[in-house]
Amino acid sequence: MSKKETLQLSKDIFQKTNLLTEEFAMTYPPQYHNFLVNIGLKKKGLCYQWADALYAYFQQKPYHSFIFHLMGANIGEYWKEHNVMAIAVKNVPMQEWIVIDPWRNPGKLYFSKVKDDHMYHWKYRPNREY
């Protein structure tokens, strides 16, 4: 993994997150934003929409050292389910992957290793369905 590629990934994460924050017209707290989406006053901004948008974007980028995954916590629990994108280096255990969560605190990107995110117990979602 090169320093140049790592710096580009960091730059891309923040730029794409900023663009999506504007596109989704995020409000705080995120649960209130979800309410507005669910009643039709906002079009997007649910956590899975963030995860999907980031995942789709980064799947198109030519990164050679990094792979991207979708993850979920409390899967199937309507009020508690949460979804994110995670970044990994090949052959690194899931607990070392980096959670990318722009939904949690709109306007401020949250990121940590999976093992250090004590708010959620993350699971890999290779075939997520809604």
Where do we find the tokens 């995110």?
Answer: 117
Predicted pLDDT of residue 78: 84
CA distances 7 to 1, 14, 30, Å, are 11, 11, 29
C-alpha 52/C-alpha 117 separation (Å) is 20
The residues pairing with 86 across neighbouring beta strands, listed in sequence order, are 69, 99
Enumerate residue ranges in the chain where pLDDT < 50: none
pLDDT in tens, 21-56: 999 999 999 999 999 999 999 999 999 999 999 999
Instruction: Please state the separation of Cα 92 from the chain's center in Å.
Output: 19
In this prediction, residue 128 carries a pLDDT of 64
The pTM of this model reads: 0.92
Per-residue burial over 71-82, b if 16 or more Cβ lie within 10 Å, else e, is bbbeeeeeeebb
d(C-alpha 91, C-alpha 83), whole Å: 22
CA distance 123 to 94: 9
Residue type (1 letter), 33: H
Taking the C-alpha atoms of residue 80 and residue 74, their distance in angstroms, rounded to an integer, is 6
pLDDT given at position 109? 94
